[in-house]
Structure 1
């Protein structure tokens, strides 16, 4: 087999439409553009969102809200979700991502106080709610807040 003998499989390729090449092609005369009008002219295209000169929808609707530049997104984890860890283990972003509790190990993590904790864990996160801190310490664990 040589590269110059390779051909596509039968039926896998189609010939392109040859428009405007006479009446025998079935696409002669108006070249499949219909009769007259903007879409039949050369360069006749209408940009997306154009409503015939009427004020377009994206300009009729009010602008709303803004995106603060200093916003910090946190991945939220509740105390009841930490029950999957063994007693005495270190719980940080990498361990949470490994167990599928957060999407990315590089994320900022905030531990919330929903649920109870029966094990002593060493929990390391970016932020803690006050109730979460109290419950972790009450269970005999330690809290490490990273900046």
Structure 2
């Protein structure tokens, strides 16, 4: 069997969609297959997502216990030393990185990561540096300031 040789069975694609509510003569007029009375016969007769027929829903039965540190985490703009080396700029800070569209939010603190070996010394000012980044910067005789 090949995908380009697949065909539909003769007559299988001629089924037309039923048009409900078009009078008694159509055979599906009046209640339009909805039955008489009741929640599902109404135009807005559905239920919301998670509704369990009046039973206390699962999201309310399960206890919400415990501490989640995500509410208190500090978000950073992260940049790698490899990205910095590709910029060919000697003085780097948050404003310059935002102007070059490397970081998206200049209000977040900047964190330099990576252990890429820089070819020439640079001046970087950031809020945090990883141990590998500090070692690589010291090896390349670069100046870095922690804000």
Give the TM interval when normalised to the shorter protein.
0.5 to 0.7
Q: Paired residue for 2:98?
A: 97
Runs of 4+ with deviation above 6 angstroms: none
Q: Paired residue for 2:138?
A: 137
Q: 1:31 to 1:67 in 2, by over 3 A?
A: farther
Q: Paired residue for 2:57?
A: 56
Q: TM-score, normalised by structure 2?
A: 0.62
Q: TM-score, normalised by structure 1?
A: 0.62
Q: 1:54 to 1:70 in 2, by over 3 A?
A: closer
1:83 equivalent in alignment to 2:85: yes
Give the conservation status (yes or no) of the 8 Å contact 2:115–2:136: no
SS in 2 for 1:115: coil
Q: Which runs of no fewer than 5 residues in structure 1 stay unpaired?
A: 1-21
CA-to-aligned-CA distance 1:79-119 (integer Å, 9 cap, x gap) = 111112326x2111122223333222222111113321112
Q: Give 1:98-113 correspondences, 5 Å limit.
A: 98-113=99-114
Cα drift, residue 46 of structure 1 = 2.9
SS in 1 for 2:101: coil
Q: 1:78 to 1:42 in 2, by over 3 A?
A: closer
Q: Paired residue for 1:47?
A: 48
- Matches of 2:95 and 2:50, distance apart in 1: 46
Q: 1:93 to 1:31 in 2, by over 3 A?
A: same
